[in-house]
Amino acid sequence: MNNKHSHLGVEVSKANASNTAIDEESPLLVHTQARSTLTQHSHDTETAPTDQEPSTRYLAVVFGSVFIGVFLAALDTTIVATLSVPISDSFGSLNLVSWLGSSYLIANAACQPLSGRLTDIFSRRSGLIVLLAGRIVAGMGGGGLNAIVAFLASDFVPLRRRGVIQGFVHICYSVGAGLGGLFGGWVNDLWGWRAAFLSRVPLIVVSTTLVFFTLRSAPSTQNETDKSKLSRVDFLGAFTLSLTLVLLLLTLNSGGNIVPWNHPLVFVSASLSIVAAISFSFVETRWAKEPIIPMHLLLDRSVLAACMMNCLITMTLFMATFYVPIFFQVNGLSTSASGLRLLPQSIGTSVSSLTCGFIVKRTGKYRTLSLVVIASSALGFIGLSTMTVDTSTILILIYILLVGVGYGGMLSISVIATVAAVSPDEQAVATSAIYAFRSTGSTVGVTVASVVYQNLLQHGLHQRFDTERGSAEVIERILKSLDELKHLPEGWVKGVYEAYAVAVRGVFLSGLGLAVLGLVATGVLKEHRLHNTLSRADQN
């Protein structure tokens, strides 16, 4: 054993002394290979060398380049949420509004778990460049982008301090999310909703260029051709996961909205969704060489709890993100004014994420903290579910802030808890798993909210106005466009607004139920030790 350590020391010394020119195949860290060997012998080593970590300047350059992409990913989310009404109105399809978010989020969920394996095989640098360019195709690029930032943090930063990095990531994300609604509403008011999406392209080009020139690739540890590398990628797993989500969303969006719940379309799509889910499980456990979500990881209670937290709390956040603007727009506010009122959610997310990161860094504990932040999200939804047109704007903003606090804290803590529960060589795929659950939560959350909203609104309108002449045609127009509120028949105004209030309250009560389930999942988390070094060899 001593000979092994002596030999390892020589290798590390040589790596430190090397001043060779850096090219695209140079390692991300000078000690990448040495760290791998150190990890294998971590039980026999008292502490890992502190100089394994890259300089603060290099970290600032790399993460600064990547954060532009994170900002754009967040911008997309709230732009779509804020502009969902004008976009739907332009096509006369407000009853299909959930597909605006879901179509983006399905691609996001499919690419999220793939990103872990792809960047393990082809390098973080290659993955980032492709995904940043993929921002032009929205969800496909956004799907892996946030996950790869977490992988980079795992590559560069010890576990105890990773929460701080995650905090800065989420500040960047929250700034994008906060500005997205305001920016999207402002551009829509001036030039229309299409201009809001075209305006992102210059920043995409800047971010891709910066990553190309600043992030170095780790050398391949195997002599593999591109064909052999591609054979390791679990494309079938990604396909069956996407198919499961599409069929599930088709079931939820169709039932009670487009067709009755007892319609054959609902039954067939639900059945096929179950078949696709079973196929995905089979592919991941029996077929894939390197599964995108190794099922054995979900047997760990901390990993499973973190995944469920991400799914449930993200569902609640997207319910608020899409339906708080609708609440305000129903009550007469413009799209830009509605988007501005989402700003406290972004502030709460960023402040909570960074604060939790610093608390975890200082204490090395995260379980109790996670219960506190998830409880704040539940409190926020209690408040949102009591809103009326007469509720103080300040109170509403506080409720929205609390939802953001719960989400931001969950983001940082769940990643830390997951990475702490698995071995270093599994942290990329484990992180991909929680991001996949997060993306699934966002997709399903938007759809569940739409199902609740549309069914309650439809029921409320029919209950109040079915006896009125020509009511079926008027109700159909109301369901498809908020603009119809300006042209209601005489005597309809009060009843229609009451129906809208009940529908929106139903969405927020559903969010409260999911937040409580998230609190239960959080209680299952196990407190793992958080190490101070990349090799996890520290004893203090």
CATH code for position 374: 1.20.1250.20
Distances (CA, A) of 352 to 190, 258, 280, 366: 34, 40, 35, 13
Instruction: Show the domain range for 186.
Output: 56-216+229-234+289-460+501-523
- 70 inside domain: yes
Q: Are residues 265 and 368 in the same domain?
A: no
Cβ partners under 8 Å of residue 66, min gap 6 = 128, 145, 148, 149, 152, 207, 211, 215
Sign of the dihedral defined by the CA atoms of residues 498, 499, 500, 502, in that order: positive
- 264 inside domain: yes
Total domain count, the chain: 2
Q: Are residues 308 and 426 in the same domain?
A: yes
In tens digits, the chain (540 residues) has pLDDT values of 444 444 434 343 444 443 444 443 444 333 434 333 333 333 333 333 344 566 778 778 778 777 777 787 777 777 777 777 777 777 666 666 666 666 666 666 666 666 656 666 666 566 555 555 555 455 444 555 666 676 677 677 776 676 777 778 777 877 887 787 778 888 888 887 778 777 777 777 777 777 777 776 555 555 566 666 677 777 888 788 878 888 887 787 777 667 788 889 889 999 999 999 999 999 988 888 878 777 888 888 999 999 999 999 999 998 998 899 889 888 888 877 887 888 899 889 888 988 988 898 888 889 999 999 999 999 999 999 999 888 898 999 999 999 999 999 998 899 888 888 888 778 777 887 887 788 788 878 888 898 899 889 999 999 998 888 888 888 888 887 777 888 888 889 889 999 999 999 999 999 999 999 999 999 999 888 886 665 555 544
- 10 inside domain: no
- 386 inside domain: yes
How far apart are alpha carbons 353 and 356 in whole angstroms? Answer: 5
How far apart are alpha carbons 517 and 310 in whole angstroms? Answer: 11
- 49 inside domain: no
Q: Are residues 314 and 362 in the same domain?
A: yes
- 470 inside domain: no
Q: Are residues 255 and 184 in the same domain?
A: no
Q: Are residues 257 and 350 in the same domain?
A: no
- 485 inside domain: no
Q: Are residues 159 and 256 in the same domain?
A: no
Q: Are residues 115 and 178 in the same domain?
A: yes
Q: Are residues 281 and 375 in the same domain?
A: no
Q: Are residues 143 and 261 in the same domain?
A: no
- 472 inside domain: no
Cβ partners under 8 Å of residue 89, min gap 6 = 481, 482, 483
